[in-house]
Amino acid sequence: MTGRLRGKTAVITGAARGIGRAQAVRFAEEGADIIAIDVCGPIESVQVPPSTPQDLAETARLVEQAGGRIVTEIVDVRNELHDVVDRGAAEFDGIDIVCATAGITSRGAAIELSEAAWRTMLDINLTGVWNTCTATAPHLIERGAGSMVLTSSIAGLRGLVGVAHYTAAKHGVVGLMRSLAHDLAPHGVRVNCVHPTNVDTPLIQNDFVRSGFRPDLDRPPTRDEFATAATQMNLLAVPWVQPVDIANASLFLASDEARYITAISLPVDAGSAQR
């Protein structure tokens, strides 16, 4: 620990597992206290196995092991978040950092998606980010400083096949980030996006998503088969990056080292955006 976030408090959505958990643990290692939010349950139209309250409890254990304090809240980011954010801010005396990380995936060709799948995607992956920003912004404004890190995707930089709703939502997050950066700059608050390529998390490592990478097979591909297909997406010879790689980029954007960086898109994509 080098204390790059010493004395700061971070709100992190999607904190029960995957990238959100990695951000919580990495930030705690650097001295932050954590307000961890997750729905910890199934979402309609999503076939990826849901996270659980036990997953969120494990994040809490890891944060405390890293020396951080943490409060957890089980709540859906589609809901109004002011109350849970205000409770956490009262516990830790304010908020400095926001990671809007909660997100889902599902699949379908653009013209074949059900309206329900489209709406659920936009409600969580875009409106959920807006809910997170609007509930937390007053606290950062009160501080006169702060950093928001919105998790987009390489699907926020280019079109991807079979996930038009995801791609639309992730491009929407970039638009939200750019406008918010204007709105909040007078208050000393920075807003940026990270854009991961495939990350080794439950979101991507399940039969349903893997199958989309190997439509030629009549069974879900194995992890190795998926790895071979996924490697073609990146310039560097890796199939996916690790959650800590996204957490490290988020840490940089959240820290004072990035004090004059706002309104940028930071790919953590092994060169995927150049493919």
Ligand X SMILES: NC(=O)c1ccc[n+]([C@@H]2O[C@H](COP(=O)([O-])OP(=O)(O)OC[C@H]3O[C@@H](n4cnc5c(N)ncnc54)[C@H](O)[C@@H]3O)[C@@H](O)[C@H]2O)c1
CA pair distance 183, 222, nearest whole angstrom = 46
Q: Which residues are catalytic?
A: 166
The residues that touch ligand X, with contacts defined as CB under 6 A, are 13-14, 16-20, 38-40, 43, 48, 50-51, 76-78, 101-104, 124, 128, 151, 153, 196, 198-199, 201-204
CB of 165 to ligand X, least distance (A): 12
| Residue nearer to ligand X on the CB measure, 32 or 37 | 37
CB of 7 to ligand X, least distance (A): 27
CB of 274 to ligand X, least distance (A): 16
The residues, ordered by sequence, that sit 6+ positions from 271 with a Cβ below 8 Å of its Cβ are 234, 235, 236
Give the DSSP letter string of 10-73: EEEESTTSHHHHHHHHHHHHTT-EEEEEE--S--TT--SPPP-HHHHHHHHHHHHHTT--EEEE
| Residue nearer to ligand X on the CB measure, 89 or 204 | 204
CB of 104 to ligand X, least distance (A): 5
Query: Residue 194 pairs with which residues in a beta bridge?
Result: 151, 266
CB of 217 to ligand X, least distance (A): 20
Indicate left, alpha or beta for 44 from its phi (over 0: left) and psi (-120 to 50: alpha).
beta
CA pair distance 252, 21, nearest whole angstrom = 17
| Residue nearer to ligand X on the CB measure, 127 or 145 | 127
CA pair distance 74, 38, nearest whole angstrom = 5
CA pair distance 187, 261, nearest whole angstrom = 14
